Structure 1
Amino acid sequence: MKKSLVFAMAMALGVSATAFAANPFSDLPAGHWAYGAVAKLAAAGVVDGYPDGTFKGDKTMTRYEMAQIVAKALAKGAIGADDKLVSEFADELDNLGVRVAKLEKNADNVKITGNVRASYRDSSGGKLKGVGDKSQSRLRTRLFLTGEVNDNWHYVSMLENNQYFQGENESGDSDTSFQRAYLDGNIGVWNIQAGRFNKTIAEGNVYDNRVDAVQFKVPFGQAYLSAAYGKMASKDVYGYTGYLTNSKAGDRDSVADKFWNAELGGNIGNLDLAATYTKADDINGAIDNGLVGDAKIWTVGANYKAGDFKIGAMYLKGDDDTLTGAYKSNDDDGYVVSLGYKGAAASKPGSWGLFAKYYDQGAPTIVYHTMNGLWDKFTGEGFKGYQVGGNLTLAKNMVAQVEYYDLKGKESDAHARTLWSQMVVTF
């Protein structure tokens, strides 16, 4: 790549070759055809010479060097994000840490990203009835399509395909479903999501799945307040066996027909705090942990980061006065403690982390848990036990993870040991 590209860029920017500017380079004669353009770009801080005061206009230039010039031109406002030079050097600009919103869009304003997860679960340990196959494996592919509506709003949708190779849902066919579709944007300081999106409540200890809802979130200082209302939508039925606890046993339309949620949180230095309240009506006991009726759950939690370590604790309180079903829990509260060290970052090959959690949750504190252990097999009684695991970034955007769970029923001798492993590739 020759430095004549710099001159071409100068012409594209409308910098006249006869523009008057002081000559900053000793090897650029005043009579050179590009004298005015180079001098003006140098005066604007877009191009630099060598330490000896020369420009070396005939020296071959790398794409990385050219990208640095384009980055400076962007910063100076000499070119816009939609300039062809910006598109040409998009990868190099990204490596330089230059984030340009319009680089992250396709020509039709739609960005496509995704991930592929291959997972295997072995649940041969323990004593549980109705677990079905002890081993299950599947390949899950997700495609996210993000369309820019305007500077403040975008539309997100997600298609998911599952192929089951082993286990209860094994079949010769795969299934594909349209699982998320929502608007995300801002009105003033308010962030709003509306449609079908994933909702995580209390770090997933209460709920972590899709909702058809509207959510508002507003920051103030180092704190925030959010509120959501809608329906807890259909869940992922991978590994589902279920207990026929009510007339809705065959109805998988929703986890709960209606829910309200509010969260207040913030941070003080390295300490993150959050409190939540969730009310879920008409819980479908056939597809959660055996509870039917309404639930009210309060939580308060804290996480503290000290160097590479992160410790957390959460207290949960449920109100099961309105719950019915084949089982009735005698324990309506619970707690979760966690410990983490470092963590695998998809962008950093070789990065790794370790983590552990201890759970003691009564059934009224759970609507649909986030864990990969068999939490939903302790019908109506809740569970206690631990999780340990680790992750490792094998290559950029390729992260492997292993988790082990040892869970027991809070009121019975039910026992489940689960080994979960996965490889996630993002693109």
Structure 2
Amino acid sequence: VANLEKKADNVKITGTIKASYASYDGDKVAKDGQDPAQNTNHASRLRSDLWVKGDINDDWTYSAMFRNQQFFSNDKGNAGEENVAFQRAYVNGRVGGLAVQAGRYNKTDITGGNIHDNRMDGVQVSYGKDVKLTAGYGKATGVDVIAGENKDVAYAELGAKLGAVDAFAGYYKFDNLLKAADDDAIWTVGLGFDLAKDLKLTGTYLRSDVDAVTVDRVDYKDVDKDGYVVGLAYKGAKAAKAGSWGLNASYYDQGAGTVVAHTMDGIYFDEGFKGYSVGANYALAKNIVAGVTYYDLESKEAKGTPDAQTLWSQVVFSF
């Protein structure tokens, strides 16, 4: 009986369904603020993610994620919208004192995604708990590179929990980025402070070695190499607790080289941007969380300082 119960629990299936609506305004709407199949100033989408996790043995597990997206701003039913894509597939385990992750996984940098939050094919190892060192190498699959050349990325991260203070530092090297017409090396350091119960302030500094970029066939020389992000968060909705809620706000001032694939849901400028976001989230019921975020950003380099505003809203169902 024990063996049968163990085998029955060997594979677990979970998932999320995200219904989102975004409204865009400003000077960049014609380029980025549109449904993938229709030029509009809004986008409506249903994204379904199905996770499969299985135990390989007592030390190793396998995870995979399938994704389907439907866009509601048109009724074309494009093949690309109907397909189910095999988005992630990786193993996790331990080798001695090292935690290992290998395969196609999502890499969110140690700042929370201000540098990179997208898929990569690679391997990373981690050591430690309160003071944790992580290093990885692979190919970033969600970035544009020169003429299809390699997408190699290497990174090292150090995080430490010191009472009410979180400290972190990271180094990232991306090869052959299209907008930089070369490689991009990015350094970051930051601190997070628990100002009060459920209230946290985070400050991040970023530095890139890129001093020129090309965006939409426009060359930008002597671009800002620095980046600053300040975030403030109060509480936060928890899917398992109906009625829980949270508020957050961030200020961004990021040079072109400090961003590869940002985590934000708003429109931003590849030549560098600055501005702010404010958001709120609320657990409507157990495993149903709604959220809304407003972004107001402007270019740091383009003539006339074009701006862009995004109002992003979504409801996430988890099972």
**TM-score (normalizing by structure 2):** 0.89
Residue matched to 2:92: 184
Aligned amino acid, residue 232 of structure 1: A
Q: CA deviation at 1:322?
A: 8.0
- Using CA pairs under 8 Å that are at least 6 residues apart, name the structure with larger relative contact order, 1 or 2: 2
Residue matched to 1:120: 21
Q: CA deviation at 1:83?
A: 8.5
Instruction: Indicate if the aligned counterparts of 1:408 and 1:416 stay in contact, CA closer than 8 A.
Output: yes
1:331-361, Cα deviation, whole Å (9 max, x unpaired): 0111000001111000000000000000000
2:247 to 310, 334, 354: 354
Q: CA deviation at 1:175?
A: 2.6
**Can you give the 5+ residue segments of structure 1 that lack an aligned partner in the other structure?**
1-79, 88-101, 236-241
Aligned amino acid, residue 149 of structure 1: I
Distance 1:365 1:166, change over 3 A: same
Q: Which runs of 4+ in 1 moved over 6 A?
A: 167-170
Write the distance in 1 (CA, Å) between the matches of 2:212 and 2:301.
20
2:208 matches 1:298: no
1:162 to 69, 75, 98: 69
For the residue of structure 2 that corresponds to 1:411, the secondary structure is coil
- Summarize the alignment of residues 18-417 of structure 1 with structure 2, pairs less than 5 Å apart: 82=2, 107=8, 109-123=10-24, 125-128=25-28, 129-131=30-32, 132-166=39-73, 171=78, 173-201=81-109, 202-219=111-128, 222-234=130-142, 248=147, 257-283=151-177, 285=178, 290-305=179-194, 306-320=196-210, 326-328=218-220, 330-375=223-268, 378-379=269-270, 381-412=271-302, 413-417=305-309
Q: CA deviation at 1:292?
A: 3.0
Instruction: Indicate if the aligned counterparts of 1:344 and 1:351 stay in contact, CA closer than 8 A.
Output: yes
Q: CA deviation at 1:188?
A: 2.4
**Can you give the 5+ residue segments of structure 2 that lack an aligned partner in the other structure?**
33-38
Write the distance in 2 (CA, Å) between the matches of 1:330 and 1:353.
36
- Aligned identity (percent) is 46
Aligned amino acid, residue 26 of structure 2: G
Write the distance in 2 (CA, Å) between the matches of 1:247 and 1:226.
28
Write the distance in 2 (CA, Å) between the matches of 1:170 and 1:203.
34
Q: CA deviation at 1:282?
A: 1.2
Write the distance in 1 (CA, Å) between the matches of 2:26 and 2:99.
45
Write the distance in 1 (CA, Å) between the matches of 2:76 and 2:213.
30
User: Which structure has more strand as a fraction of its residues?
Assistant: 2
Residue matched to 2:311: 419
Write the distance in 2 (CA, Å) between the matches of 1:167 and 1:383.
31
Q: CA deviation at 1:291?
A: 3.4
For the residue of structure 1 that corresponds to 2:260, the secondary structure is coil
Write the distance in 2 (CA, Å) between the matches of 1:272 and 1:342.
17
Q: CA deviation at 1:137?
A: 0.9
Instruction: Indicate if the aligned counterparts of 2:171 and 2:188 stay in contact, CA closer than 8 A.
Output: yes
Aligned amino acid, residue 275 of structure 2: G
Distance 1:159 1:345, change over 3 A: same
Distance 1:257 1:169, change over 3 A: farther
The number of aligned residues is 304
Q: CA deviation at 1:174?
A: 1.8
Aligned amino acid, residue 142 of structure 1: D
User: Which structure has more helix as a fraction of its residues?
Assistant: 1
The higher radius of gyration belongs to: 1
Aligned amino acid, residue 70 of structure 2: Q
For the residue of structure 2 that corresponds to 1:166, the secondary structure is coil
For the residue of structure 2 that corresponds to 1:291, the secondary structure is coil
Instruction: Indicate if the aligned counterparts of 2:131 and 2:158 stay in contact, CA closer than 8 A.
Output: yes
**TM-score (normalizing by structure 1):** 0.67
Q: CA deviation at 1:293?
A: 1.9
Instruction: Indicate if the aligned counterparts of 1:384 and 1:410 stay in contact, CA closer than 8 A.
Output: yes
Write the distance in 2 (CA, Å) between the matches of 1:135 and 1:368.
21
Instruction: Indicate if the aligned counterparts of 1:293 and 1:323 stay in contact, CA closer than 8 A.
Output: no
For the residue of structure 2 that corresponds to 1:344, the secondary structure is coil
Write the distance in 2 (CA, Å) between the matches of 1:281 and 1:275.
20
Write the distance in 2 (CA, Å) between the matches of 1:307 and 1:402.
23
Instruction: Indicate if the aligned counterparts of 2:211 and 2:224 stay in contact, CA closer than 8 A.
Output: no
Instruction: Indicate if the aligned counterparts of 1:118 and 1:423 stay in contact, CA closer than 8 A.
Output: yes
RMSD, aligned CA: 2.4
Write the distance in 2 (CA, Å) between the matches of 1:168 and 1:302.
47
1:348-394, Cα deviation, whole Å (9 max, x unpaired): 0000000000000000101110000111xx24x20000000000000
Instruction: Indicate if the aligned counterparts of 1:134 and 1:167 stay in contact, CA closer than 8 A.
Output: no
Instruction: Indicate if the aligned counterparts of 1:225 and 1:265 stay in contact, CA closer than 8 A.
Output: yes
